[in-house]
Structure 1
Amino acid sequence: MIGERIKRARTAAGLSMQALGDIVGISANMVKKYEHNQSMPSSGVLLKLAAALSVRSEYFFRPAQVTLGEVEYRKKASAPAKLLKKIESDVIDQAERWLALKNVWPNFPISDFDYHPDIPVVSSLAAVEHVAAKVRSDWQLGMNPLPDLIDLLESKGILVIVSNVPQADKFDGLEAKISGQPIIVVSAHWPGCRQRFTLAHELGHLILHGRLDDSVDEEMACNRFASAFLLPDIGLYQHLGEQRSNIDAKELYFLKHEYGLSMAACLYRSADLGVITQEKKRQIFIQFSQNGWRKQEPGKPYPQEQTLLFEQLVYRALAEGILSESKAAELLQISVMALHKQRQMLAEAV
């Protein structure tokens, strides 16, 4: 158990056995023995390993162990295997703490994801629009902008993990399952509109998988679902009208900040719904490229989304006597003293 955790934390830190050994003051061969459970590190070495790997010492003894299943990456071709291993290690660490928290509750207050809409086989991208509208209707969301997508998905039993692993530009999202529970992973380094599109895209996979005609590409269908779910047709028509000869970039900027969808995605949406022609979309994208907006859109970025549910449930479990302070601090990866300060709403804990 300890050996596997040392290896996972080393992989997440991007360190070779030699590099970790140099930091801790042991040989690479000794690190290998630890990882293969051929030798047990002393308490002093464990503390040094924890410091070198930026984990708490309790991490090495955490009983819960999970395995990612049905992993589906949405990644750029340049994403190296080393980066994906870092992401998976981070995801497993966060998921283990989720599972540990869930297991202490007699009745966990968040239901499992159990949404299976009664829809016919989706035979075209246009039909995806109806699926997105049905999800909004079934979940009683109306047609207005969705202010907090992470909170919405978590309330439906989808575990959302925000990974702080760097090199986010080479990673486009991950959807997997842990003990049957779907999880969606986004990066803490992305702008909010990219996080939201990825979350909606992965929700599309959960809902559309197995319901698409063979002629429909699933990735394209999930892109269409994400756009329709975040920006319903009625909202687009209300702001832009039903047919235009041109669209000003500032209009796309306003749409972005109202619906949390990038300017580029709003432009695609306009062409998909026939507000502008595909040729006009192409012309505007040429302007985007000339202005450098394909890499970074102008103006203030859309705010990032955050996940608060895990912390909220930890403090709820504390209040109800389900968790001890020491266990709560371990799950939150802070000291007991820092936990005291946070509970008392004092100055920022260190």
Structure 2
Amino acid sequence: MIGERLKRARAAAGLSMQALAGQVSISANMIKKYEHNASMPSSGVLLKLATALSVRTEYFFRPTQVTLGQVEYRKKASASKGLLKKIESDVIEQAERWLALKNIWPNFPIKLFDYQIGIPKLNTLDDVEKAAIKLRNDWQLGMNPLPNLIDLLESKGILVIISHVTQADKFDGLQANISGQPIIVVSSHWSGCRQRFTLARELGHLVLHNVLDESLDEETVCNRFASAFLLPDIGIHQHLGEQRANIDPKELYFMKHEFGLSMAACVYRSADLGIISKEKARQIYIQFSKNGWRKQEPGQPYPQEQTQLFEQLVFRALAEGILSESKAAELLQISVMTLHKQRQMLAEVV
């Protein structure tokens, strides 16, 4: 029965029953009956519903059902319940396709996340700095900039989902799990720096949650962890020195594009480490506000991060004969003809 899937797709599209009914030329009462499994739409109506909701008809009959566990939103007070429902529906739809792919594979090549920070208790923010460096060392990352955070996290067994729901300014990230696998959700509407900071912060929540002293605020800790993980103290000292009376905006711009941390976050990091005073940081922020840089920083933005792991695994499964072309097309949400073109490199892969 399609009721629950129809309801979820409608929530993801942000449509009321009346609005959806108007798009498919039926009554709102019929939509209600479909969602309560009191009636089944004809094939013609089902096609119209799929078009209106931007899903493939196969979506309504997909057997895999996903339940998000341990959901933790980072959201602004202005984020409505409707917006959160849209995000959650979008995440569940993408997670279902992940789980469907995983269940087809005899031995799924992505390991489960299994990392313990190995520190009994974090009592100070200095301890948080050490934890960020310890994680870098444990993962053999060195102190250099991290070019692709999504690739790194997915290689460690953390599923990253990019939501395309709008109103992204009211949503600061989501962490949950499906079947015991942690997932982190970021928005396709964010800048690359914001995506990376959210990914690093949610990683902090994941690995530090059980080792924080009660005196520490977890959100403050994870923000500090994210900054230290993306821009280690040795890196910022190499760029700025030990102590400065001022920092030129162009210096911040160069650091932003090397480490993938916003100019404003680099200022905050500099003050945290005592390179500049808190008062100087405040003055820089005031100038940023006057220049309009708090909303949009100057120059070229840092590139957004992309996830390609799902597509890579679909094509690998095709090559190994694990997956049929029709199932692969369904999982990728494209036509079989488009899939043929992509396999033959006759069309640009997007």
| TM-score, normalised via structure 2 length | 0.99
Partner in structure 1 of residue 67 of structure 2: 67
Aligned-partner Cα distance in 1 for 2:136–2:292 = 34
| Cα shift readout 1:129-183 (whole Å, capped 9, x = no counterpart) | 0000000000000000000000000000000000111111111110011111100
Aligned-partner Cα distance in 2 for 1:77–1:260 = 27
Deviation at 1:69, TM superposition (A): 0.9
1:34 aligns with 2:34: yes
1:69-148 to 2 correspondence within 5 Å? 69-148=69-148
1:44-63 to 2 correspondence within 5 Å? 44-63=44-63
Aligned-partner Cα distance in 2 for 1:41–1:4 = 14
Partner in structure 2 of residue 196 of structure 1: 196
Identity of aligned residues (%): 81
1:19 aligns with 2:19: yes
Contact 1:338 1:349 in 2 (8 A): no
- Code of the aligned partner of 2:190: W
Task: Pick which of 111-120 and 150-159 moved more.
Answer: 111-120
- Code of the aligned partner of 2:314: V
Partner in structure 2 of residue 284 of structure 1: 284
Partner in structure 2 of residue 176 of structure 1: 176
Aligned-partner Cα distance in 2 for 1:167–1:66 = 24
In structure 2, list runs of 5 or more residues that go unmatched. Answer: none
1:240 aligns with 2:240: yes
Q: CA RMSD in A?
A: 1.0
Deviation at 1:120, TM superposition (A): 2.5
Partner-residue secondary structure (3-state), 1:209: helix
Aligned-partner Cα distance in 2 for 1:231–1:348 = 35
1:288-307 to 2 correspondence within 5 Å? 288-307=288-307
Aligned-partner Cα distance in 1 for 2:152–2:25 = 47
Deviation at 1:188, TM superposition (A): 0.4
In structure 1, list runs of 5 or more residues that go unmatched. Answer: none
Aligned-partner Cα distance in 1 for 2:348–2:196 = 29
1:252-263 to 2 correspondence within 5 Å? 252-263=252-263
Aligned-partner Cα distance in 1 for 2:126–2:263 = 21
Contact 2:117 2:208 in 1 (8 A): no
How many residues align? The count is: 350
Partner in structure 2 of residue 311 of structure 1: 311
Partner-residue secondary structure (3-state), 2:271: helix
| Cα shift readout 1:24-67 (whole Å, capped 9, x = no counterpart) | 11110110000000111111111110011110000000010001
Q: Once superposed, which parts of structure 1, at least 4 consecutive aligned residues long, lie more than 3 Å away?
A: none
Partner-residue secondary structure (3-state), 2:211: coil
| TM-score, normalised via structure 1 length | 0.99
Contact 2:230 2:260 in 1 (8 A): yes
| Cα shift readout 1:306-337 (whole Å, capped 9, x = no counterpart) | 00000000000000000000000000000000
Partner in structure 2 of residue 212 of structure 1: 212
Contact 1:64 1:100 in 2 (8 A): yes
| Cα shift readout 1:178-226 (whole Å, capped 9, x = no counterpart) | 1111000000011100000000000000011011000000000000000
